[in-house]
Amino acid sequence: MTPPDRLRALLAEPGFVTMPAVWDGLTAKLAAAAGFRTAFLSGSCVAASRLGGPDLDLLSFGEMFDSFNMVRGAAPDTLVLADGDHGYGNAMNVQRTVRAYGRAGAAAILIEDKITPRALTAAGKPCLPRDEARMKIRAAVEAAKDSGILILARTDCRPTQGIDEAVARIEMYVEEGADILFLDSPADDAEIGRAVAAAAGRPSFAVLSPGAPRATPSRSQAEALGFKIGTYPTGMLSPSAAGIKAGIAALVAGEAESASALPPAELRTMLGYPDYDTQGKRFMV
């Protein structure tokens, strides 16, 4: 089965899908080793790791696609949802983006309706007019036919245009054939309920990391509200940053490592040194 077919089968199973947010080979490998079958290649995490900066449309298609290939290479069996952002341009750019990820083995791709280039502020996400947003999702669905990759259609218009417009866009994306639906920044459970109902039985996706100005239910609450997939963009990123800061603090204090550091043998095993030796023996002269 292809990755998209495998993801379709997984989404048809009962239960909630927890999708860790990953950004490179190591995070993908660790998530897979923990038993997760899926992962979200998060633009915010890639921006943090590659740029050391915020998720404000500063990443290029090439940088995101390179990160996808890292993830895919380290965890080839993981079903990856790629963050296609705004498609990196107009509807034709969207098609190029969708086709590239489909050929490369992504199971699904997210396409959103915000305006690019972004206004020079971190506040708000002005979105495309509704008809232009429709054309982007129509282009994505058409391009997806080449590989079968699933299209996750996201609307960011709730904070700037209101819940009625956001729900109308979800209904529109369903009409256009999107496979998974995503309302960003719902204010409360009632708005979540409206968005899930508008998805008309198709899976709804949620960001469940705390801290942002949006309704953030727990995993059990999200499932009860009708969400099928939940991702946690800061779930691994924040502890990773904390671990790096602890390591730096230890060096500043004249120590060799922090108290939270992995034992050397565990680190080497996690990175695959013993596996390399086992595989390499087959080719020794």
Q: Is 27 exposed, middle or buried (0-12, 13-18, 19+ CB in 10 A)?
A: buried
Interior/surface letters 157-181, b for 16+ CB within 10 angstroms, e for the rest:
bbbebebeebbbbbbbbbebbbbbb
User: Scanning the structure block, which residue is given the tokens 């999200």?
Assistant: 222
Phi/psi for 155 (5° steps) reads -115, 135
Q: What is the pLDDT of residue 107?
A: 99
Give the residue-averaged pLDDT of 33-41.
98
Summarised one tens digit per residue, pLDDT across range 68-105 is 999 999 999 999 999 999 999 999 999 999 999 999 99
Give the residue-averaged pLDDT of 121-130.
88
Q: What is the pLDDT of residue 15?
A: 97
Summarised one tens digit per residue, pLDDT across range 103-118 is 999 999 999 999 988 8
Could you list the beta-strand ranges (E) of the chain.
17-22, 38-41, 79-83, 108-112, 150-155, 180-183, 205-207, 229-232
The pTM of this model reads 0.96
Give the residue-averaged pLDDT of 240-269.
97
Q: What is the pLDDT of residue 116?
A: 87
Give the residue-averaged pLDDT of 122-151.
95
Q: What is the pLDDT of residue 241?
A: 98
Domains recognised in the chain with CATH numbers: 3-234 (3.20.20.60), 242-283 (no CATH)
Per-residue pLDDT band for 215 (boundaries 50, 70, 90) equals confident
Per-residue pLDDT band for 17 (boundaries 50, 70, 90) equals very high
Give the residue-averaged pLDDT of 172-178.
98
Q: What is the pLDDT of residue 123?
A: 79
Rounded percentage of the chain residues whose pLDDT exceeds 70: 100
Q: What is the pLDDT of residue 26?
A: 98
Query: Is it the case that residue 121 has pLDDT exceeding 90?
Result: no
Q: What is the pLDDT of residue 122?
A: 80
Give the residue-averaged pLDDT of 126-154.
98
Query: Is it the case that residue 217 has pLDDT exceeding 80?
Result: yes
- Give the amino acid at 236: M
Q: What is the pLDDT of residue 62?
A: 98
Averaged pLDDT score across all residues of the chain: 96
Q: What is the pLDDT of residue 211?
A: 84
Q: Is the dihedral of CA 79, 261, 233, 63 positive or negative?
A: negative
Give the residue-averaged pLDDT of 181-197.
97
Q: Is the dihedral of CA 163, 169, 172, 178 positive or negative?
A: negative
Query: Is it the case that residue 124 has pLDDT exceeding 80?
Result: no
Q: What is the pLDDT of residue 23?
A: 98
Interior angle at CA 14, CA 187 and CA 28, nearest 5: 75
Query: Is it the case that residue 10 has pLDDT exceeding 80?
Result: yes
**What span, in angstroms and rounded, lies between the C-alpha atoms of 245 and 124?**
30
Q: Is 247 exposed, middle or buried (0-12, 13-18, 19+ CB in 10 A)?
A: middle
Give the residue-averaged pLDDT of 243-248.
98
